[in-house]
Amino acid sequence: MESRNSNNFRGIDVSNLQGDIDFAKVKQSGIQMVYMKASEGITFVDKKLNQNYSRAKAQGLKIGFYHYFRPSLDSKAQARHFANTISGKISDCKLALDLEVADNFSKSVLTDKALTFIKEIKSLTGLDIVVYTYTYFARTNIDSRLGVYPLWIAHYGVSSPGSNPIWNSWVGFQYSSTGSVPGISGNCDMNEFKNGILLNSSSVPQEPGNNYETYTVKAGDTLSGIATMYGTTYQELAALNGISNPNKIYVGQVLKIIKGSNSSGGNTSSGTISVGSQVKIIGSNYATGQAIPSWVKNNVYTVQQISGNKALIKEITSWVYISDLVLVSGGSSAPVYYTVKYGDTLSGIATIYGTTYQKLAELNGISNANRIYAGQKIRVK
C-alpha cells in the first residue's frame, strides 16, 4: 500500500479518553482534521462528543465521526443509535465504522453484520461510509465484500501499511497510537488522510467567504448576549456554529455571525407558516448552507421562531428557509406524530410539544409511561 505523504491531511482521532482538548493549540500544531468518537453499541454516547464537536468546529478543523461496532448487538439498532447521536451535527468526512472486534463470529457472519450496519446508516443519513480496521484484522476476520468501501487502516511503526486481501489502497492511515499533540494531555492516535476521506461536495457545508463576520468570546459573555449585540438570536448562533448547548461557550471561542443578521420576526411571505405551525422539511439545505440529511425529512416539526425568510425549527434547533417548508397543521386538530429516538422520554417529548406525559400516554394507549422505544410513533397532537 501507499506510504505516508506530506501532501495528505494531518489528522487525529479522539474520544473521552483524551479529556478536555484545547483545539486552538491542536490547530496551531498543524492538525487539519479530527475524527471523534460518537457512539458505541446501542446505548453508549461518548461524553466528550458535544464539547469536542463545538470546539473543533469553532477552530475550522475538518470533522468526522466514528461508531465503535459491537458485533454481538443488532446492526440496525447500532446504526440508528449512531444516526441519532450525530443528529444535527455536520460532518466534513465520511462516517466511519470502527470494526476491530469479532466476538467469535466467522468472517462471513461478521461481514454480513458490518454490511447491514453500513447500509442502514447510509439509508438513515444519506452519507457515505469508510471502514476503519487494522491490518491483522483485515487479513483474518472479514471478507472481500467490504472492499467496495474505502479503507481507514491502522498499522503502527511503519511508513506504509502492510498488505491485506481486501484493499490495496487507503484513504486514512493511523500510523501511531502514542502521538503527542499540543492541546491534548497524554497519548493521541495520529493519522494521515487523503481527499477521499471527505464527503462529496454536495454533503459538505458551504462556507461563503463574504457572508460572515466573526466574534471572539470574552469573559462574561453569553450566547444570548452576543446575539442581542448583533440583532440575532442565540438559537441562530447555535445552529450556525454547531453549538449543541447554548449555555456552554468559552473564552477565546470564535463565533461566525451572518452579516446583517436581524431578528425582526414577522409573518412569512406566504402568510401560512407562523410560530407554532407544524411543518415538514422539503429543502436540501439548512439556512446556514449545510446539507439536510434525508432522515431529517421524515418527521413533523414545530416552528419556534420566524426571522425574515427563515424559520427556527424547535426540535432540531436549526434554521430553515420558509420556502423549504410545507405546512402540516397550524394549530388545527390534524394529528401530529413524533418518532421516538434513543434517549427520549415521554415526559421530555411532552415538554417539547407543550403537553404532559399523562396526556400523551392516554392519547397513545401507553400503560407504562417509562417504557417507550426508539422508532415508536407517538401522536403528540
* Active-site amino acid positions: 13, 100
Distances (CA, A) of 33 to 11, 62, 172, 204, 205: 5, 5, 11, 14, 15
End-to-end CA distance of the chain: 57
Spatial neighbors of 70 by CB under 8 A, at least 6 apart, are 40, 41, 42, 78, 101, 103
Cα 141 to chain centroid, rounded: 29
Nine cell digits for residue 189: 492516535
| Sign of the dihedral defined by the CA atoms of residues 146, 151, 152, 155, in that order | positive
DSSP string, 71-93: TTS-HHHHHHHHHHHTTT---SB
Other beta carbons within 10 Å of 115: 17
DSSP string, 228-280: HHTTS-HHHHHHHHT-S-TT---TT-EEEEETT--------TTSS--TT-EEE
Distances (CA, A) of 134 to 137, 156, 203, 238: 5, 9, 28, 37
